[in-house]
Amino acid sequence: MVGIFIALLICPQPSVRSQTCDTTTLRAIEREAVRAPMGYTWLEWSTRSIGHRLTGSANGRRAEESADSLFRVAGMRHVAFSPFQATAWQRYSAGISFAGPDGVPVPCPTVALAMTPDSADIRALVVDVGNGLATDFDSLDRAVHGAIALVNLHLSNAPPGAVNLHRSEKVALAIQHGAIGVVFANAVDGGVLLTGTASVTNQPIAIPAVCIGKEDAARLRERLVMDKPVHAHITMRNSSIPITARNVLATLHGTDKAEDVIVVGGHLDSWDLATGATDNGIGSYSIIDLARCYVALGLRPRRTIVFALFMGEEQGLLGSTALVNEWARSGQLDHVKCMINLDMSGDPSGFNAFGPEHLRTLVSKAQQDMRALDTTYAARASDAPWLHSDHQPFMLHGVATLNPICDLGERVYRCYHSDCDDLRLVDPAVMASNVQRVGEMLWLLANADDLPDHFKDEELRSRLVAGGLEEKLRLHGEWRW
């Protein structure tokens, strides 16, 4: 601690900061991240005391309130709720049965996808649409019309170069082709059932969409490939009601460049099938611990840092979109230089930096500095745009975004959005690594001499097209060009 204190004394003014000062601070962040990490402890408490963190539920409200308290426990002085209105979806029941060879219905375990109707009771022929890509639907012509589409969640036997779509985009295609229901086939062994939003517009859809396990889907397809017609019966009961939810924002004010803002955000909410320990407790509680780390070290960055925990990500990026829209109206978004998003992040090996060329150059230089201190850090780099997490609304407004590059392993990814996403999947060390690696990158960017402005609109359009996102954004109704 004496060495850290001396470092802070000899580097009091960021404007005269030296490489030696940066190196000393980075080492201090590394030590503090692993010396007494609290992220895992707070996550463990949350999974035990709160459970799931579904937006609009009593659990969700408790999660908001506890996050506010934990930021304050971490030493943050400026913590506030940022409320927003939304339509929140909650499940009650869902069922599916398939007519057997003798015509007798055989029930099958299932869960409803979110934003599906409050009530549904349909019977129809099942049509296998394979991977559910646009070409798959087009190849069936009108066979899907009036039928229930059976669709893979993950690509299987896809042609070279095929790019998977989000489940909501596959549902949008199914609706366009006249399907009256969608059954998703999971690809995870052991009958694991997956949920998630089925809507590209964040509003309830008109048809039911459910998920069944890998093994049940395989048995269903065995009958379909023998040209034996199969009819399915889907029922469900849900609710969609207007609610007020709250993002939680903790602000660390900068010094000589305080008007510039870097947002470090991740979603606090989770689905209700389990406790959401990896999606996204691992990211959101790391963010609170990162704030604790900066406060414990007495760090004063040149730029202002906003640590943001968003609600409603799982139901369609509701909280982050509301905040970005509010900041765009007020002009506050003009001051946001970049957004670092922690969604299912752990033990980062690098960063995906989507931004103007100068930002990517700064990130590359920062990664070199980080690797110079620790050669075990891989410093992997990419610059691809992608969707369906809280960086998206920032990105579509031209703000540069960073996402840690991580590999949590198949054991984790097979359980995301499912009833096996619990604390047993979380390694405390990967959360400490979140704090270290993101904390180091954050410090270097927050103290850089200059950060680029937002994308010019035509440059953003060109990069999104090159990244293959035009078709997806058109399905979402978010392609403005």
pLDDT of residue 3: 39
Task: For Cα atoms 437, 441, 443, give the angle at the middle one, nearest 5 degrees.
Answer: 115
- Nearest-CA neighbor of 344 among 388, 402, 407? 407
Q: Which amino acid belongs to residue 73?
A: V
Local structure of residue 231 (DSSP, 8 states): E
For residue 371, what are its two tokens?
């690797």
Considering Cα of 173, then 176, then 178, then 180, what sign does the dihedral take? positive
What is the arithmetic mean of pLDDT over 290-307?
A: 98
* Structural contact between residues 423 and 43, judged by C-beta atoms closer than 8 angstroms: yes
Cα–Cα distance, 372 to 444 (Å, whole number): 14
Q: Does pLDDT of 278 surpass 90?
A: yes
Provide the mean pLDDT of the chain.
94
C-alpha distances in angstroms, 169 versus 74, 96, 128, 475, 477?
40, 22, 17, 7, 11
Cα–Cα distance, 305 to 250 (Å, whole number): 8
pLDDT of residue 202: 87
Q: What percent of the chain has a predicted confidence (pLDDT) above 90?
A: 93
Domains of the chain: 14-87+242-476 (3.40.630.10), 89-241 (3.50.30.30)
Q: What percent of the chain has a predicted confidence (pLDDT) above 70?
A: 96
Cα–Cα distance, 439 to 444 (Å, whole number): 9
Task: For Cα atoms 376, 380, 385, give the angle at the middle one, nearest 5 degrees.
Answer: 155
Q: Does pLDDT of 83 surpass 60?
A: yes
Q: Does pLDDT of 1 surpass 70?
A: no
The tens digit of pLDDT for each residue in 224-256 reads: 988 889 999 999 999 999 999 999 999 999 999
Task: Provide the 10 A C-beta neighbour count for residue 13.
Answer: 11
What is the arithmetic mean of pLDDT over 460-468?
A: 97
